[in-house]
Structure formats: structure tokens, C-alpha cells
Structure 1
Amino acid sequence: MTILQILHTIVLGPLELLFDVVYAIANGITGNPGLSLIFLSLTINLLVLPLYRRADAMQEEERDQSLRLKPGVDHIRKVFKGDERFMMLQTFYRQNDYKPYYALKGSLSLLLEIPFFIAAYHYLSNLNLLNGASFGPIADLGVPDNLIKLGGISLHLLPILMTAINIVSGIIYTKGMPLKSKIQLYGMALIFLVLLYESPAGLVFYWTLNNLFSLVKNIFYKIPNPKKVIKIICSIAGIAVLIAGFVFFTGLRRKALSLIVALILQLPLLNKYIKRGKDNKSKQKELINADTAKVIFYACCLLMTVLIGVLIPSAIISTSTAEFVEMSDLHSPLRYVLRTALMAIGTFMVWCIVFYKLSSDKGKKAFSLGSVIAVFCAVIEYMFFGKGYGNISSTLRYDLPIEISAKEYIFNLLILGLVAGIVYLVWKKGKGELLKAVGIIGCIAITVMSVVNVVKINSEVSELKVIAEQSKQEAPQFTLSTTGQNVVVIMMDRAIGALVPYLMEEKPELKQQFAGFTFYPNAFSFGLTTNAGAPPIFGGYEYMPSEMDARSNESLKDKHNEALKVMPVLFMNEGFKVTVCDPPYANYQWTPDLSIFDEYKDINAYLTSGAYDDNEADRIVQKEHSLNRNLFCYSLFRVCPVFLHKEVYNEGIYNYADYRSRYNDDQWVFGYTPSGNYTSTGVNDDFLTEYSALENLPFMTQVTDTNENTYLSLVNGATHDVTMLQEPEFEPKNEVDNTEYEKEHAVRTAPGMKDLQLTTVEQFEHYQSNMAGLIQLGKWFDYLKENGVWDNTRIIITADHGRCIGLDLLTGDGISSDELDPMSANPLFMIKDFGSTEFTISDEFMTCADVPTEAFKGLIDNPVNPFTGVPINEDRKNDDVLYGVYCEASIEKNNGNTFSDAKQYTLKNQNIFDTDNWTYSN
């Protein structure tokens, strides 16, 4: 970042984010870009009104003091010259407690207005939501208004109106002021006219509203007793907000929020009833002096800066650094932390201090007390709340919508109230030194924690750079022979077996494309996460979680790598041409580390994920933009009260106003958000990356007539990184609307299965993404048939685990929340053997660990694990009870010798369809 970019982020970044959040909320309520500008102007002006009022008061103080000193200054300048005059002026100023730089107070309002103007100019000039939006007589808020037509000449009315209002406001404001002040304001009005004349109408409209607000304010403060009027207005506004909140919002959380806003607005009216003690008590000496209060405030600002700007963003990135790194354009994700830190500096160390400095002495004490309460509450929120929302992606979106119960709201408010009460009592007891010490110690502790995270990220980025260099490759390519025998093993991550019958019925052509496959609905997975569920697929029963845990003197990483190499090495030893694509978590890296196959020169290893990402440059730019903005918002989300979590999180958009207006027919809009069960905007870039690999399978496939046998393993995550797709094609679109299609397919059926009705976004996403995966595999199978490599190819398709999405399609008995839904341990499992021609369904019990045996069948007699010497077979499938685990999915956290914090589930009688056969330990 350049110096100018750093300064822009610190000074203007928080203001632009404030504009964006307010505008997004307003537009979400009104749905009208023009009305949203009015809401934005009113909100910003009300927020900064105390700041301007204090600036005006300081300007008035400076003018009064200058007028009082003017006779003395004029006398000195008349009598003395040169150095003597300078010394006399300095002495005179010192005697009257005046410093020459106090003259800047006279321009304080102007100095404050400049950053707000620049921020508004930059934000509104680049707000795509205004392009093409009309408001009243303004046809397009994204271009100059052209409201006045004189012959063939068009004039812009809004800049002229803005300037007229500005001049009238200046006349009222400068009444009785010296000519210098009047010239200054009139000059600024003309400057704004020149600057904004050719600007978009939306920007000029906003600034016109600001000037109108300023005019009303200036008129208002000319009337007698304005404070009384303020109290009445606030009371009326509070009642209006309360009524509007109950009328227009539903749910306890929004009603509580509207009530709080209303009560805050009532405070001016209630002020006389909540005075603390009698007048004589107010005259008593304060227990916490001003200097101590100032140190406390600064310490709290620093602590919030480090907590929100460094600790929280570095913590979320360090949990899975690789997810925040683009291997094709590898840069350290610490740059996101840097920008978040700069935003925090601007928010807490610049603007908070500006408000503090412009406050009265009493206001400064209130700021100090408020900052202590805010810090303690923020730390409590971060440490103990908001952790149960599920898995979060590198785009800072949770897999599922966050759900918060009324009990959680109440409990959180009680805890925060208790914390605030304790801090207040400590403050009233005059324990300022204690609070100061706690603040300083807190800063040190949080800084140390942040440094640990940063060091960890930096170390992992160094490792990823090595992997990136190793992973540089030509386009993935694998060979299938028309005369030899081909074995293909495909792992579709998190593909759900129970959905297959419905998918086949909805798309009958799939049965033709999958002719030759046998589908095994009675299939079992040994892990509900990839790190536990994938090793048995590639290594057999020897790599069930229970068996891996039994080898407790070896690391999980080494055992995982060993499992990934079992089939490739055995097939290689039998003379097969071997290709491995995207081995999951190879070397326990999020992006598979292909170096685990370096010692085997006859094994070709590729990464297909991202290899055909034609939109990679756009995706990277959009993802960086999103993280640069939303990482700071995520930090605020983690420290704000629970009742605000949904508002701040905002379905993963974090109140980004322009999110839904970035569409371009020529490129994808990365950043996916469902807006109901049938519609969504943007695309899930992770899904698109995996989907592109499936689309390009024919381009990766090289068909030869050489008499050689081949083995190919391929892993794909299109069924894991789920998204909403456009039906009936089941393809990604920037704007998805399945309303009409779902009216006709509200109930899906399959022979021998209960009716399927999708009712949640998660269910639609998984159903559609599983369908998309099968469709693309079907197209590849057509390609294999056309090129003569179908009958001599054995294909095994499986998943490492299924997914509980609340459908209960297997047992039909209903599963309680404290039991295991069998769908989460029911993976997709299909086999097409050599020469098979019909699509069939078998009730035979299968597990993921059967894959090696089925792959070797008839090709390798009595296979033996080349690393342990243990025979590979399906004997363990006949155990009375089979054990699976649900453990921490993160390979960064769960990377010891055994699966940590694993919950166990069991299956007996080789039948997943009977609820009584399942047990689950919480």
C-alpha cells in the first residue's frame, strides 16, 4: 500500500464504511435508492451533529477570545517591530492563556467537513446502485441531472439549488460575524458548485440534503430556547420509532432494538428525572481525575484497535491460512489484516479521539467510562459468544444461516448488563488506577496473542509458497486405454447417497448415462468429515478412524498420506499407468501437497481444482475486495451484542449496499447470497472452481489404443461447496430464480422412497449441487462411450461422508436433535464394472472402505498394503458393530496422533435403514 492509500484507509475508510452500512440498511428497508439517500443524509447529519455543535462552540470561544485580545495585539503591533514585537506578542498570548494555533479553531467546522465531503464524494461517485436509478424528476442518479433545458443547452439544477441553499445557510450562520468568516463560507459554496457541477445527481442530491439540513439547523439555533424544542422533537421521534418498530418489524430481536432506539431518543426529555444526586453532590471532587480518565480512554481505544484490527482477523485467518490464499497468485493474507488494522486505527485512534477531544470535560469523562464498558463487553462477546454458528468459509460466510434463540438473547443481555454494572461500580468507587492497569495489561495480552497469530500465518504462508512452486504444472491430463483395462475412482466430497433415486427420476437421461452402474443405497461412512472419512476410501479398513487412533505413536498426517498412496502404489507395482488428481488433504494441506508422490516417478499427480478457472483474475480481485471490506465488519460482528449479530452479519453480506448491483453479462459476480428458497444472487466461487473441473473432464482425458492398463483417482468438491443453481439446467447463474420450476416440482418422488419436499435453502443447495455433479459426470461418461473406453473401464463413485440436511429420507422414523441423522453417514456409492450395461440398485451393504477391494477385484490377487504388509479385503465389514467418528474437521487443529474430541457413532446389523441400529455419543 502507498502512503496515500494508508492515509485514505485510516481517515476516510471508516467514514465510507459508515456511509455504506447506513445506505445498505436504508435501501433494504425502502427499496428505493433516492429515499435511501435521504435516510443516509439525515442519519449522518444527526450522528455528527454533536461534533459540529462542539466545533461551532469552540469557534465562538476563539472568536470571543480574539476580539478580547485584539486591542492589545493591535497596540503591540503598532508600537513594536521585528523580534521585539514577536517577543511581546508571545508574552501577551502567554499571559492571556492563548496560543496562536488556536486560530485554527475558527476553521474547525470546515476542517471537519473536508473528510466527510471527500468520503461522500468517493463513495457516492462509485456507488453502482445509483446507475440507472430514478427518483422523482431525476431520471438517473448515476449521471448529472440535466433538469434544465434551454434550447439545445442542458443545465444541472441540483448543483445550483445546492449552492443557493448553502449561501442562504451561510447568511444566517454568519450574521454578526466578521467579513472574513462570511467570505470563507461564500467561497466554499462556490468551490462546491465547481467541484460538484458535473458530478452524478445522486452525489449532488445527497450534498444538497446536507446543506438543507445545515440551513434548518442554523435557523433552529436562532430561535429562543432550542434545547426545549430538541427534547420535544426527540420525544416525538422516539415514540414514532417505537411504533414503527412494532408495526414494521417482527420478532423479539427487532422489537427490542426499536425499543432501545426509542428510549435513547427519550433521554433528553428524561434528563431532569435522572440527575445524579443534588447540586451539592455534583460539586464534590471527582474520584477519578481527568488525567487518569484520559489515559483510560486512550488505553481502551488502543485495546479495541488491536482486538478488532489485528487479533480477530488474524485468528480467523490462522485457523485455515490456506483458504485465504490463492495458490496461483500467492500473497500473504496478512495484507487483509493490515487493512483491517488501518480501519481500526482510523475508527478508534482517529475518529473516536476526534469526538473525545471535541467533547466537554464532562463529556470526556463519559467517553472514558463508556470506552471501559465497551471494551469489557467486547472481550466477553469475543471470548464466549457467537461461536456456535457452524463452519465459516474464507468469504466469511457460514455454511448455514445463523440461528439465535430468545434464551441466548436474554442470557447475553444479562451478562453484558452485569459486566457493565460491575465496571460502573468500580468507576464510581474511584478505582481509576485499577481500570488503567487493566486496560494497559489487556493491550499487552491481546498484542501478544495477535503476534502469535501473525507469526503462525507467516510461517504457513512460507510453507504454501513451497507447495505452490511444487504444484506448478501443465494442464491436467490423464490417459485411458481402449484396449487395456482402466480403473477410475471418483470421490465426490459430501455427496449424499439418499438423494440419488430422486435425482435419477427428475432427470431420466441420467439413467442412460449411468447405464452399467450399480447404486448401493445401504452405504456407510466411517467419518462425518473429510479427514476421518477419506482415508478408508483410499486405504481400506486399515484406515478406519479407530484403526488410525490405535497407531497412536504415528501422526495423523503420516497415516493420512499413507492411505492416499495405497492404491496408486499397488497399481503402479502391477504395471498400471497411474494418475492421481486432487488427493484430499495430502500432507495435511488444504491445497493438496502433491509432493507426497515425488518418490514415485511413475505416478502422475495433478490439481484439477482451479486448473480451468477462466475467471480466476476476476474472482481473485472480487474476493480481495470483499475481504478488505468485510474482515473489519466480521471483527465488529464478533464483538457486538448477540441481539445485533444477524443485523451486522446480514446473511454474510455485512450490509454491503453495492453487493447486488455488480452484475455484468460478460463475467461472474463472485459472492453468493441466497434470498429465499428459490432465488439467489452471485455465484459461489468455490463451487464454480470445482464445477469447472467437472465440465473439463473430456479435455483432460487422453484416449489411446496402446495396450496398457490405467488407474485414475479423482476428487471433486462440487457437492461440498454447494450453491443454488438455475433449474432445470442446474447450472450456475449470477441471478437464479427457480420460483416457477419449483411450483411444478414441489414434491419429488422416487420408487420405494418417501415423497421429498425441499423446504430450506440448505436442502435446495445440496439437492441442486448433487444434481449438477451427476449431470457433468454423465456428460463425461457419454464422452467415454463415444471414444470406446466405456466397456473396459471400471468406475467407482463414492463420497467421504453424507450430510444431515433435515430430510430424514432413510429411516422414516424422525430423528431427534440429540441423535445421528443417518444421512450424514450415508455417502454416495456406485460401481460400474467391466462390461456392465444396466443401471441397477442393490441392497447389499457397502462401506467407503470397500473401495480398494472393489478396485483391485480381478486385477490384483490377494492385495497387500505395501506400507504395512496387512492384507486388503472386506472382512472387517462383517464386524458386529462398525464405528465411525465425528471430529474436528480442521486439519490445522486436529493434526496430532489421534482424532481429538471425536464423538463416536456406531452401526450394527449392516442396515442403515433401521433407527435402532444406530447409536451416537454426544
Structure 2
Amino acid sequence: MFSALYQIFITPLVQLTEFFYSLFFEVTGNQGIAVIGLSFIVTIFTLPLYMVAEQWQETERNIQKKLKPGVERIKSTFKGDEQYMVLSTFYRENHYHPIYALRSSFSLLIQIPFFIAAYNFLSNLEPLKNYSFLFIKSFGEPDATFHIGSFAVNVLPVAMTIINCVAGLIYSKGHPLSEKIQIYACAAVFLLLLYNSPAGLVVYWTMNNVLSLVKNIFYKIRNPKKVLYIIACIVSICLILCGTVFFRHTKLIFRIMLVFTGILIPLAPFAAKFLGSFFESHFYILDENPKLRLSVFLISAFILAVLTGLAIPSILMQSEPEQYSYVDSYTSPLYFIWHTFFQSLGFFVVWPFCFYALFSSKTKKVLTFLFTFVAFSALLNCFAFSGNYGPVNPNLLFMTPQHFMPGIKIVLVNILCMAVILSLVAVAFSFKAKVLNSLCTIFLISLVAISGKNIISVQTSFRKMEAPDFSRKIEPIFHLSKKGKNVIILMQDRFFSPLIPKILENNPELRKRLDGFIWYPNTVSFGKLTMIGTPGIFGGYDYTPFEMNRRTDKTLQQKHNEAILTMPIVFNQNNWNVTVADLPYENYLEQPVTYMYKGYDFINRITTHGAYSNIWYARNNMKKSPFMSEGIKRNFIWFSVLKIVPPFMRQIIYHKKYWISYNKFEDNAKFIDNYSEIDLFPELFDSSSEKNAFFLLDNEANHESILLQAPDYIPVENVTDFGPGGKDETYSSMVGVLKRFADFIDFLKENNLYDNTKIILVSDHGMSRDTGVFDNKTQNFPFYKENMTATLLVKDFFSRGNLKEVYTFMTNADTPALALKDIDGKAVNPFTKNPLDVNSVGGGITKNDFIKMSNAPAESTRIRKNTRFNIKDDEWYTVKDNIFDDKNWSHYIVRSNVEF
């Protein structure tokens, strides 16, 4: 019961809090300003409620003032039960009840749900925990500005309380003593509650008090509306300047939003006055029949709640109920439907009804009209303009990158349809409001029926499912050859080469355990992104970004798929068994990924990401991180909202995964999904292959790094020993992966599979982090050179001895040539017919001729139907010979008409 109430009343506020925080952070790039902006928005949204509260309090004061002489006379004349009876009669004769006195506490009650929402959001926002702002060392801890002995003095809560008291002093001037005591007592309570709270939360609440102080000052000045309008115009000018001048680094859509908002602000009062006048002189039936008005409002609100909370989730869920069954600690998929429905009730029924009930008849009429129009538009957009955006993950994220840019024809038709709905609703409210009420009722009943049918279907499918058994024995899926040869290529996503020296220094035993390996520190990738860094790993130099852009006869999707297929085809041509697992961006994210392997039946494609995490959790007595269930609970309502808004607005709703600011469970869950594979490698490999065997594997443990327990660097619930790397998550995870990789080496040795196996561990890119290894200051590059590094560790057949470091200039696109050395020395790319070994190209061409890297953003790489990466001519860079020599790095200006 409490959980349902929390989801109805608080969760919608938490979702909106996160949205506006993320919006401000997107625009400003500053988390401190985002917290302050969030406080400002919440104050603006709650201002109408405070205005109502002020009216109620003023009414209560006037009544108390009017009744005070009579009450005092009765109390001085009568005692005991007689006093009670006479007072009750007196109140009744004056149409008053003592319970009405609670109206004076309404302004305090308003703050409670918003405070709970802000507390839950800001207290758990991981990016704030180590964020410093002005004199505040960390937003995640009390400010502790100075100490008196061992006692930490937190200045922010004290400042917040002083501001709160000053605001209360101004507000309560001329008010009864009891009201003043209530205000100061409330300030004291908040001081006690927030004194040891995270500084980020106190900054938020302090800004609330500052804005409350400003509001109270406005109440006391002459012509407050005029002054407020002048300030609004100043804000408007600032927003327009931000959108046109100051925030050029932000996306165009947000700059347009800033300018558009800036233009609207000065016009808003006039628009409100016009609409108020229009509604006052129209739709008289809504004035004459309050019950009908309330009925239409509530039915429209319930249409939105049922559509977003039951219909859309159940339609999606009934197509794949197994995706939502046995997720984390939740067995039945119906839990996620009810959770979403309760949120929808809060969003579309409970909170709107609170506003409806508090305001005047004119405002109620406006809300009724608005909700009716929105309800019918939502039905139109959901079922007639649903859009085709491809499949979604169980946590409601689209598998295919989306830009949600409908054609102009769809936009115009959609706007025209909504204009027709607006007109029909206006006509209906003018002449046939009861018919409209009946039509709304029919739609509501239909949605309930559709939802009920789908829910029954989901439950029926769920009952037929068998509960997963996470204790079952793991069967080998990778089959090595003991008699022949094996080649294993493990692409370790974002394995950060500049940290390897520190890892080896602190873990010297790894030099011996990485028996026979050569590490090439002088290795680069071709970009900072997986989409750019991986094709070269799989397909060689024909699939570096520059070379891919030179060939426009095929799409990026086709070229990416070619790269992935290159080594499997060549090894198969040499009569080797071929196995691939979880390769990045198969089919360029267009589902199903297996389509790209059509016609290549010799490739054994398997899935391992996350396939063994449940078994791993069970074996290691660890709780599974509720990453998936938290994502479903959070995102289903956003997915539904995305479906009901006009197509041209969907990019705003889905922006950066529904504006998610941070998922505290995501890194842990994704790390274990990948770490569990490497940890279980000894059980996933056997020696049953009769032929030479080739394995092309991808692992992404380091992409979502977490802290591990030293000295073995294993995942635990609470890390207590961080080791010499401290709280460096990248370092910690890299050590953990290397140690498990070394365990796999021990397994190969124990089973006489090591000498006849070639192993290559390679990464796709580095990361944006200044390690001091490179000089990042003398040249004006918009990136850290560490971003362009790649890890390359190679163990050849029959190679033994401690780990060696060789400083030959390498790139991760050397991987195919290294893999095929001694197997097919003249191997050519099966698609381009070019040699896979760049040294075999001839004509005086060297590796340096191919090293053209890009710092382009992710959005420029993911449109699969394009024939080229959308990289600007001045976004290319090159390096040669020795990457540690700053002189070898330079900007490369592309001459499009010549080189492409």
C-alpha cells in the first residue's frame, strides 16, 4: 500500500525533478547551476499552489479576526462541556469549523512531497558525490566549511535557516504570533533535518528559500505584477542571448528552445489574458454544469492514465512477455505494468486533480478543455502516428540509434489532425458537451478492455514459463583443438593502455603470468569511439574511418559488416573452424543481427554477454544489481509518453535515453555481465575441436568500470581494500580483467592448449583522461591523446617468457595481419581484394599513410544507411612513428573534392 502511494504521489515528482536537472545540465554543462536551476523551476511550478495557500491563509486570518471577540467572550463566560457546546453552536452559526484552521498549514504541506522527491533524487545522484562548486568541496557530503575542534560547522544549512527566517519575518509581518511561531519552528525542523545532509541537497533547498524570500518581498512592494513583468523581460533577453551567443557548444535544438522560450515569456501574460477572456465568454455549459465539467475532466485524465499506464505497456509486453519475467527479484511481468499504471495515475489524475480542485471555476474550465484535447490527441498520436523506430530493449531503450526526425509531410498531417481535434472539442463543448462526455467514456472503456485482454495474455504466457535455474552446470561453448592450432582474438573494449605500466608495477607477478606475450605500448586507434575503432580491428586498414569514407559504393552498415566477416571468411578458406561472440554493432544495430551472417553458415555465432551473470551471482553469493528492473520501472512511463506526443516532439522526450541523469546500478550490472564471461572462461572452453579453431570475441567489462576488492580484484558487495590504485575504477577493473585473463592462461597450460594457441588482446580506443604520459598542452587538440591509444598484447604460437615491451609503431588495425601470420601470409580482404598486411601493399606506401584519426562525436557515426561517416574536413588528425613524441601529432586537413 505504501509503495503504491509513493509511486502515485512521489515518483512522478522524482521523474520531473530528474528531467529538469538533466535539462539544465545539458544546457549549462555545470552541475551546480543545474541544481540551482532545478530549484528555480520547482518554485515556478509550485507558485500557483502557494498563491492558493496564501488566499486560504488570508481567509483564515480574516475569519479568526472576525470571530475572536465572540470566542473570547464565550471562553470567559463558560467552562468545561458547556463551553464546548456553546463554541460549537457559535462556529456553526458562522458557517465555520475548527478543522478549517488547518488551512493555515497548507503552505507547509505543499513542501513535503517536493522535498521528499528532491531528497531522493539529489541524495542518490552519483555524479554529484565528488562534484565541487564554489567553496563546496563535494556536493555529496556536508559542506564542513570549517571546524571548531573536532566539530564540523556546516555553513550552508545555517545560511539556509537564516534566509528562511528572514523570508518568514517579511511574510508574517502583522500576522498572529502563533503563525510566526509555526514559521520559525518549521525553519528549525529543516535545519535539524538537513544539517548533515549532502551539500547538493542543501544548495537546492537554500535556493528554494532565497526564491521564497524574493516572493515574499514581491508581496510587499507596490505593483508587484509590473516589477515581475520587467524581470521576466530581462530573463527573456538573457535566454535569447544564451541561445544565440553564449551556448554555441550546445545542440541546435536546445538553442532554439532557449530562444523560443525567451520570445514566449514576454508574450505569456497577454496570451493568458486573451485565453482567460476567451474561456470566460465561451463554453457556458461548463460553468452551468460543474458535475459535467468534473466528469469530462476526470474521464479525460483517466484516458491518459490508462493509455500510458496500462494499454501501451501491455501491448508491448504481450509481444514478448518473457523479456519482463523473472527480472532481478521480480517474478511476474505484471508488477511492471502496475508500477507504470500507478505512476500514470500520479502524472495524469492525482496531481492534475489537486490543481483542479484548488482553483477557480474559470481555471477548472480551462483544465477540462485542455485535458480533453490532450486525451484525444494522445489517442491519435499513439495509434495513427506511432512511428516505426525498430525494436526496443527490455528496459525500453531503442536498439537502433534514433533521431526521431519525421518528414515534413508527416509533421503537417499530424498538426492538421490535431487542429481538427481542437476544433471538434471546441464545438462539442459549445453544443454537445454531454455527447463528448459519452464519447470519452466509450474510449476509456475500450482502453480498459484492450489492456485487460493484453494483461490476461501476458499472465497466461507467464504461467507457462519455467522458472530459470541459475544453479545449472555450464556447458563449454568454445571448442579448442589440442592437435591442431588455435587463434583467439579478444577485443577488450576501452582497455586503457596508459595505465598498464602502473598495473605491472603494482602487480609484478603479471609479467610472469602473461607468459610469452608482447605488449606494444606504441599503438593507436583511429578514434575515440567503438564505431570507429573496431572495423579496423576486424577488417584491417581497408576499414579505418578515412578509407571507409573513400569508398562510397556501399553503406556504412555494409562496410561494418564486411569488416566483422573478414577474418572469419579468411580462416574458413584455410579450413579452420570459426566462432564469433558478441561482436560490437553487428549489422550496425539493425535487428536481427543474425541476418548479416546469412550465407556464412560456417560461422558459429553465439551470445555470452550477460548469459552467465545469474549463475555467477549465485556462485559468488552476491545480490544481482537491479539494473534491468530499475530501468523498466523508470522508462516504461517515458516510453508511453513518447508514444502519445506528436512525432516532431519525440526527439525531446527520448533525448539521451529519456533524460536519465544517472543509473547507479548500470555500471555494476554491465560490468558483471562481461566480467562473468572471463571469470568462467575455463568452463566455457574445452578441447573437443578436430580442426584448427579461430575465435573472435568481444568483452566490454572495462567500458563500465567499477571498484573491485584488492588484492585479487574481485567484485564484492562493499569494497574495503582498494589496493594501490585507490578509488580509480578504470585501474581496478583493468587489474581484475587481467588477473582473470591470467587464470585463463593457467587453464590453457594445465590442459596442454597453450603452446599451440595464438592469443591477441586488443582494444578499440582509449579514454578522455590526462595521465601525464602525453603532452596535451603544447598543441591545440580538442582531445586528450590518451583517447586515441589502443592496447595490443600478442602471444604467438610456442612463445614463452616474461612479458616483453616492444615499441614498434602499431595500430589496432594490425590485428588481422598478426592473427594470420604463419597461417596465410598472403591473405587478402575477401571484399576489397587488398592485402590484409599493410606492409604487403607495395608502391612505397607505409603504415603512416593510413593513420588518419577522427575526434568526431558519436552522432556522426551511427546512421547506417549513409555511405560515409559525417566527419568534417577539419576533424581529422594524424600521428606517425612514435606516439609519445608530441611533434609526431598533427592536424590533417582533408581536401574533400580530391581525397574522397
Answer yes or no: same fold by TM over 0.5: yes
Give the drift of 1:33.
1.6
Q: 1:256 to 1:35 in 2, by over 3 A?
A: closer
2:46 to 33, 45, 48: 48
Question: Which residue of 1 is the match for residue 474 of structure 2?
Answer: 475
1:641 counterpart = 2:646: yes
- Aligned counterparts of 2:650 and 2:349: Cα–Cα separation in 1: 24
Structure 2 gap segments, 5+ residues each? 486-530, 542-562, 579-586, 706-729, 735-759, 770-785, 791-809, 817-827, 835-849, 870-900
Secondary structure of 2:152's aligned partner: strand
Secondary structure of 1:224's aligned partner: coil
2:659 to 655, 658, 668: 655
What code does the residue aligned with 1:388 have? N
> Does the 8 Å CA contact 2:167/2:209 hold for their aligned counterparts?
yes
- Aligned counterparts of 2:411 and 2:680: Cα–Cα separation in 1: 48
What code does the residue aligned with 2:366 have? A
> Does the 8 Å CA contact 2:293/2:368 hold for their aligned counterparts?
yes
- Aligned counterparts of 1:280 and 1:394: Cα–Cα separation in 2: 48
What code does the residue aligned with 1:32 have? N
TM alignment of 1:770-849, pairs within 5 A: 806=866
- Aligned counterparts of 1:480 and 1:633: Cα–Cα separation in 2: 44
Q: Deviations over 1:859-895 (max 9, x none)?
A: xxxxxxxxxxxxxxxxxxxxxxxxxxxxxxxxxxxxx
Q: Deviations over 1:517-554 (max 9, x none)?
A: 3799xxxx9xx9769969999999xxxxxxxxxxxxxx
Q: 1:76 to 1:195 in 2, by over 3 A?
A: same
Question: Which residue of 1 is the match for residue 421 of structure 2?
Answer: 419
Give the drift of 1:233.
2.9
1:629 counterpart = 2:613: no
TM alignment of 1:186-225, pairs within 5 A: 186-225=184-223
Q: 1:582 to 1:135 in 2, by over 3 A?
A: closer
Secondary structure of 2:465's aligned partner: helix
Question: Which residue of 1 is the match for residue 777 of structure 2?
Answer: none
Give the drift of 1:152.
5.3
1:740 to 768, 772, 788: 788
Q: Deviations over 1:765-824 (max 9, x none)?
A: 89xxxxxxxxxxxxxxxxxxxxxxxxxxxxxxxxxxxxx765599xxxxxxxxxxxxxxx
Secondary structure of 1:474's aligned partner: coil
1:155 to 153, 156, 163: 153
- Aligned counterparts of 1:413 and 1:92: Cα–Cα separation in 2: 59
Give the drift of 1:207.
1.0
- Aligned counterparts of 1:748 and 1:478: Cα–Cα separation in 2: 24
1:444 counterpart = 2:426: no
Secondary structure of 1:274's aligned partner: helix
What code does the residue aligned with 1:699 have? E
Give the drift of 1:186.
0.6
Q: 1:359 to 1:731 in 2, by over 3 A?
A: farther
- Aligned counterparts of 1:385 and 1:359: Cα–Cα separation in 2: 34
Secondary structure of 1:393's aligned partner: coil
1:503 to 515, 535, 538: 538
Q: 1:509 to 1:376 in 2, by over 3 A?
A: closer
- Aligned counterparts of 1:432 and 1:17: Cα–Cα separation in 2: 34
- Aligned counterparts of 1:124 and 1:263: Cα–Cα separation in 2: 31
Question: Which residue of 2 is the match for residue 699 of structure 1?
Answer: 683
- Aligned counterparts of 2:481 and 2:147: Cα–Cα separation in 1: 75
Give the drift of 1:731.
5.7
> Does the 8 Å CA contact 1:649/1:655 hold for their aligned counterparts?
yes
- Aligned counterparts of 1:73 and 1:196: Cα–Cα separation in 2: 40
Give the drift of 1:102.
1.8
> Does the 8 Å CA contact 1:120/1:203 hold for their aligned counterparts?
yes
- Aligned counterparts of 1:444 and 1:581: Cα–Cα separation in 2: 47
What code does the residue aligned with 2:103 have? K
Give the drift of 1:158.
0.8
- Aligned counterparts of 2:204 and 2:613: Cα–Cα separation in 1: 46
1:431 counterpart = 2:432: yes
- Aligned counterparts of 1:421 and 1:617: Cα–Cα separation in 2: 59
Question: Which residue of 1 is the match for residue 37 of structure 2?
Answer: 39
TM alignment of 1:82-231, pairs within 5 A: 88-150=86-148, 153-231=151-229
- Aligned counterparts of 1:399 and 1:622: Cα–Cα separation in 2: 17
Secondary structure of 1:658's aligned partner: coil
- Aligned counterparts of 1:747 and 1:79: Cα–Cα separation in 2: 102
- Aligned counterparts of 1:133 and 1:224: Cα–Cα separation in 2: 42
Q: Deviations over 1:825-878 (max 9, x none)?
A: xxxxxxxxxxxxxxxxxxxxxxxxxxxxxxxxxxxxxxxxxxxxxxxxxxxxxx
Give the drift of 1:118.
2.2
Question: Which residue of 1 is the match for residue 457 of structure 2?
Answer: 456
- Aligned counterparts of 1:328 and 1:283: Cα–Cα separation in 2: 52
- Aligned counterparts of 1:120 and 1:347: Cα–Cα separation in 2: 17
Give the drift of 1:68.
1.9
What code does the residue aligned with 2:650 have? H
- Aligned counterparts of 2:605 and 2:275: Cα–Cα separation in 1: 72
Structure 1 gap segments, 5+ residues each? 487-495, 541-579, 585-590, 592-606, 671-682, 767-803, 810-922
Secondary structure of 2:626's aligned partner: helix
Question: Which residue of 2 is the match for residue 390 of structure 1?
Answer: 390
1:265 counterpart = 2:265: yes
Q: 1:474 to 1:189 in 2, by over 3 A?
A: same
Give the drift of 1:176.
0.8
- Aligned counterparts of 2:288 and 2:402: Cα–Cα separation in 1: 42
> Does the 8 Å CA contact 1:128/1:662 hold for their aligned counterparts?
no
1:361 counterpart = 2:361: yes
- Aligned counterparts of 2:165 and 2:535: Cα–Cα separation in 1: 71
Give the drift of 1:175.
0.7
> Does the 8 Å CA contact 2:627/2:665 hold for their aligned counterparts?
no
Give the drift of 1:240.
3.7
What code does the residue aligned with 2:315 have? A
> Does the 8 Å CA contact 2:309/2:340 hold for their aligned counterparts?
yes
Give the drift of 1:162.
0.8
> Does the 8 Å CA contact 2:479/2:686 hold for their aligned counterparts?
yes
What code does the residue aligned with 2:460 have? S
Give the drift of 1:350.
2.2
Secondary structure of 1:136's aligned partner: coil
Secondary structure of 2:474's aligned partner: coil
- Aligned counterparts of 2:21 and 2:678: Cα–Cα separation in 1: 40
- Aligned counterparts of 2:316 and 2:446: Cα–Cα separation in 1: 18
1:30 counterpart = 2:32: no
Q: 1:418 to 1:7 in 2, by over 3 A?
A: same
TM alignment of 1:708-719, pairs within 5 A: none
- Aligned counterparts of 1:629 and 1:96: Cα–Cα separation in 2: 50
Greater shift, 265-274 or 368-377, is seen at 265-274
TM alignment of 1:587-606, pairs within 5 A: none
- Aligned counterparts of 2:296 and 2:180: Cα–Cα separation in 1: 41
Q: Deviations over 1:683-727 (max 9, x none)?
A: 7x9xx56x96698565234447xxxx9999999997999x99999
Q: Deviations over 1:326-360 (max 9, x none)?
A: 47867112212222122122223322111112212
- Aligned counterparts of 2:160 and 2:230: Cα–Cα separation in 1: 29
- Aligned counterparts of 1:452 and 1:645: Cα–Cα separation in 2: 28
Give the drift of 1:511.
9.8
> Does the 8 Å CA contact 2:396/2:636 hold for their aligned counterparts?
yes
Give the drift of 1:762.
9.5
Question: Which residue of 2 is the match for residue 234 of structure 1?
Answer: 232
- Aligned counterparts of 1:335 and 1:716: Cα–Cα separation in 2: 39
What code does the residue aligned with 1:503 have? F
Question: Which residue of 1 is the match for residue 889 of structure 2?
Answer: none
What code does the residue aligned with 1:17 have? Q
1:370 counterpart = 2:370: yes
Question: Which TM-score applies when normalising by structure 1?
Answer: 0.62
How well do the aligned residues superpose, as a CA RMSD in angstroms?
5.1
- Aligned counterparts of 1:763 and 1:735: Cα–Cα separation in 2: 18
- Aligned counterparts of 1:747 and 1:290: Cα–Cα separation in 2: 76
Greater shift, 276-285 or 219-228, is seen at 276-285
1:292 counterpart = 2:280: no
